[in-house]
Structure 1
Amino acid sequence: MKAKITHQSVQAAKAKDKAYELRDTTLSGFICRVQPTGRKSYLVEYARGKRLTIGNAAVLTPAQAREKAKAILGQAAEGGDPAAEKRKAKADTLRNFIEREYRPWARANRKRGDEICDRVLRVFSTLADRSLSAITDNAVERIRTSRLNSGTSPATVNRDVTCLRGALSFAVRAKYLDAHPLADFKLSDTDSSGKVRYLSDDEAKRLRAALRARDDEIREGRNRGNQWRQDRGYEPMPDIPLDGYGDHLTPLVLLSLNTGARRGELFGLQWDDVDFRLEQITIRGATSKKNRTRHVPLNAEALDALTRWRRQTSGQGLVFTGRDGARLDNVRKAWAGVLQDAEITAFRWHDMRHTFASWLVMRGVDLNTVRELLGHGDIKMTLRYAHLAPQHKADAVARLV
């Protein structure tokens, strides 16, 4: 509907079953939109398919709205993008941009979206209240140098910068920034083939012994508790079989050592992903780091661990759950206790993945097969284990003689 937008025409516009618009006959692109609820608002259409809301007609007069529309149309005529400028003004600082714009996107598109956003705001806190356009590679370089001098590893600093880079890349794509301020920023050099921590045969024996002792202790505690319940007429807890496990920790550890699966991948493993007939597990793309589904064979120890564990569970849903049946989020306390009992030091949960790969390489498995089992995107990550196969190099050099 076309009409000159005036106080009288806006007042005369009545609500209908569907929203409709009054298009001004004197200023092309100036619009008054009337909602079925009776709410009226001014808009400006400055290009095909591109609009901006000017404001509520109950607050702005037609003359005020018209002047704002003229300013926006003038900005567009000079080659600007009024919507982008409005977004820039809304996300004026790094903190505001992260909280209002990037965090909702990261939650929907990144596995650890909130963690990434929190990391950026924590590590780069001195930049958080700067405008996006004021973030420079020199400012980031000063923070990097300070962290390296304080003892933070280059790999950790690189991950921090990568998180910030990702946020700023989104800002460029969404037109909050005209150019990426870290486009030429170089990450710190790291030794991707450095020494990896893996279990020696003796440490592996001590770890398994500590796990068995823990299971026995939990089983004995359950038996004592059930005797106490029986004496008082209470319903007993389920018995833990002699060949069973005290809880999820032992089967988790055994599966990690024998499949190389990441902790998060095992936390998200479903019983439907375990194929006892084909003797393999499927790591779904939704739970994997690289969003790629892969299939990992189960050796005798891993298959036995899952078979025993299934007898102690419902065999449905998540393979490993917390006490309330929800997805596990950590096993830090129990894991630290087992390592202490086994007298194993400087060993993280992720090092079991290194152990899996290292054992394979030392037993002559080629690096490409190891890469496929680990789910690495390319061979570069797997090359860190190459030094564990010295016989291949020795054989090659021997051919010169």
Structure 2
Amino acid sequence: MKAKITRELLRDFQPTDKVIDIADSEVKGFTVRITPSGAKNYGIRYTGKDGRQVRFSLNKNFPTTTVSDAREEARILLGRIAAGADPAEEKKARIRGKLTLFSFINGDYGDHLRAHNRTGEAIIDRLKALFAEYGDRPLTDFDVRLIDKWRAARIKDGRKASTVNRDLNDLKSLFSRAVDWRLIPEHPLLSIKRMDESGGKIVRFLSDSEESRLRLALNEREKRDRDGRTRANAWRATRGYELLPNVEENQFVDHLKPAVLLSLNTGIRQGELLSLRWADIDLDLAILTVRDETAKSNKTRHLPLNDEAKSALVQWKSQHRSTELVFPGRDGSRMTEVKTAWGKLLKKAEIENFRWHDMRHHFASRLVMAGVDLNTVRELLGHSDIKMTLRYAHLAPEHKAAAVQKLMRTAA
């Protein structure tokens, strides 16, 4: 908004849930920013040498600094700008040699990650752990030689190339942001190439025998826990204790079986599964929606529910009508993991080297082996690049056989 900035205006102005910028009608370029918390900070706006609009804070606020004093300081600074100065660039030049990796992570870059990345806090923690020895190093002191040395040490310690590539991508993104914000003149790691990851990835999915054992173990676990609940209540009843909620024959004893059945039949990631809300599921249309804010790709996708997945959700919902989350934790908040119950289930089923995430591979592998084309599999998995889906291509040998068979010529 534009108005003459006065003591009365700022005193009486009520903050809103959005940041408000007031442009002074008396001195062009003089501004006040009012935050939702009620802070009223003086600044200026001007056009930089590259043609971009720049907002520069005077590092003074109302009422500590009077409007007249702030306006006069803004007038002087705007005069310097008219003569060719650029206070924002001057400030950046002063801090370039002092801006260290950790001060950047703990400051503006950390705030940016938390605001724009669903896993921002995890990325911050990982960067701090991975590059702890370089925490006090200025951003301008990083170069290819330094990071090549770090990467070689990681590989020597037994880290996979894919892991090192992922970690390095996080660091490169940090420097890209520093360049975008003109905190450093150039990206020091642009010439570093990704390491070759070929030959290291094996798609793990369940054999028919393993899947049968997994399903049998799920059913046995349900029966065991249901029978255990019945015995416990009989024991409590004879002593006059309060009975535990009864588990009917057509009910799940807990979240594990419906969560496993849903994962096997949709390929949903564990993080997406645990963030799933009943509002994301249309049982009438048999559609499950993974919202962009919970998806790893940050893109919404819609998954059809087959009969088994839909049936499991219908039954599970009848037991949890009052919850917002499909698979809530004990206190109703988001569950963080299912590691303990999952580990015991795999042990009972005698299945080794199979992670929860591998149910996603199992889903994709079964689709490909059933003749579903790779692009459809890509869409169901939410892969942004078909290259990620090509890992399953070898599971469709009949397609390759049919292709080479076309080379056969009809006998004359």
TM-score normalised by the shorter chain: which range applies? 0.7 to 0.9
How far apart are 1:228 and its partner, in Å?
3.4
Once residues 272 and 64 of structure 2 are traced to their aligned partners in structure 1, the CA distance between those partners, rounded to angstroms, is 54
**Alignment match, 2:314:** 307
- Please name the residue that 1:114 is paired with: 121
Selected match of 1:362 from 355, 369, 372 = 369
Shift of 1:197: 0.6
| 1:76–1:357 CA distance, 2 compared to 1 (3 A) | farther
1:2-401 matches, within 5 Å, as 16-19=7-10, 50-53=55-58, 73=80, 77=84, 81-82=88-89, 84-85=91-92, 88=95, 92-191=99-198, 194-314=201-321, 316-401=323-408
SS at match of 1:17: helix
Deviation at 1:229, TM superposition (A): 3.2
Report the residue type matching 1:17 in the other structure.
E
CA distance in 1 between counterparts of 2:98 and 2:274 reads 36
Q: Does the C-alpha gap of structure 1 residues 87 and 322 become closer, same or farther in structure 2, counting only changes over 3 Å?
A: farther
Structure 1 CA distance, aligned partners of 2:183 and 2:203?
41
> 1:154-174: per-residue Cα shift (whole Å, max 9, x none)?
111111011111111111112
Compute the displacement of 1:120 (Å). Answer: 1.0
Alignment partner, residue 15 of structure 2: none
In the alignment, structure 1 segments of 5+ residues that lack a partner are 1-14
SS in 2 for 1:240: coil
User: Does the 8 A contact of 1:172 with 1:180 survive in 2?
Assistant: yes
CA deviation profile, 1:314-340 (whole Å, cap 9, x unmatched): 264111011111111111111111111
Q: Structure 2 CA distance, aligned partners of 1:201 and 1:194? A: 22
Asked if the contact 2:155–2:161 (Cα under 8 Å) also holds between the matched residues in 1, the reply is yes
Counterpart CA distance in 2 for 1:341 and 1:365 is 32
Question: SS at 2:8's partner residue?
Answer: coil
For residues 57-95 of structure 1, the C-alpha deviation after alignment (integer angstroms, 9 at most, x for no partner) is 999xx9xx99xx88x959983667446517835962100
Secondary structure, in 3 states, of the residue corresponding to 1:231? Answer: helix
Distance 1:392 1:43 in 2: 65
CA contact (8 A) 1:279 1:303 kept: yes
* Contact 1:91 1:100 survives alignment (8 Å): no
> In structure 2, do the counterparts of structure 1 residues 385 and 192 end up closer, same or farther at CA, with 3 Å as the change threshold?
farther
| Deviation digits for residues 356-396 of structure 1 (CA, Å, limit 9, x no counterpart) | 00011111111111111111113111111000000111111
Distance 2:126 2:159 in 1: 14
- The letter for the 1-side match of 2:153 is S
Letter in structure 2 aligned against 1:190: E
SS of the equivalent of 1:277 reads coil
Distance 1:278 1:55, change over 3 A: closer
Q: Give the match's secondary structure for 1:216.
A: helix
Asked if the contact 1:88/1:177 (under 8 Å) is kept, the reply is no
TM-score normalised to the size of structure 1? 0.82
For 2:378, the aligned partner's letter is R
- Distance verdict in 2 for CA 1:42–1:203, change over 3 Å: closer
Change (3 A) 1:271 1:315: farther
Matched residues in 1 for 2:394 and 2:294: separation?
A: 30
Secondary structure, counterpart of 2:303 in structure 1: strand
What is the alpha-carbon distance in structure 2 between the residues aligned to residue 362 and residue 19 of structure 1? 68
| TM-score, with length taken from structure 2 | 0.80
Q: Structure 1 CA distance, aligned partners of 2:44 and 2:318?
A: 66
Contact 2:203 2:361 (C-alpha < 8 Å) held by counterparts:
yes
> Contact (CA 8 Å) 1:87, 1:176: kept in 2 or not?
no
- Residue 135 of structure 1 contacts residue 181 of structure 1 at CA under 8 Å; is this kept in 2? yes
Deviation (angstroms), 1:293:
1.6
Contact kept, 8 Å, 1:94 with 1:131, in 2: the verdict is yes
For 2:302 and 2:255, the matched residues in 1 are separated by 22
Measure, in 2, the Cα distance between the counterparts of 1:43 and 1:288: 38
Matched residues in 2 for 1:316 and 1:182: separation?
48
Compute the RMSD of aligned alpha carbons. Answer: 3.5
Contact kept? 1:362, 1:389, Cα under 8 Å: yes
My pick for the range that moved more, 338-347 or 77-86, is: 77-86
Matches of 2:347 and 2:305, distance apart in 1: 28
Distance across 2 between alignment mates of 1:126 and 1:135: 12
Contact 1:211 1:250 in 2 (8 A): yes
What are the superposed Cα offsets for residues 214-267 of structure 1, whole Å, 9 maximum, x if unpaired? 222222232233233333434322211223222101111110011011111111
Query: What's the % identity of the aligned pairs?
Result: 44
Runs of 4+ in 1 over 6 A off after TM superposition: 40-48, 54-59
Cα distance change, pair 49–368 in 1 and its aligned pair in 2 (3 A)? closer
CA distance in 2 between counterparts of 1:91 and 1:128 reads 12
Shift of 1:199: 0.6
Shift of 1:288: 0.9
- Answer whether contact 2:374 2:389 (CA < 8 A) is retained: yes
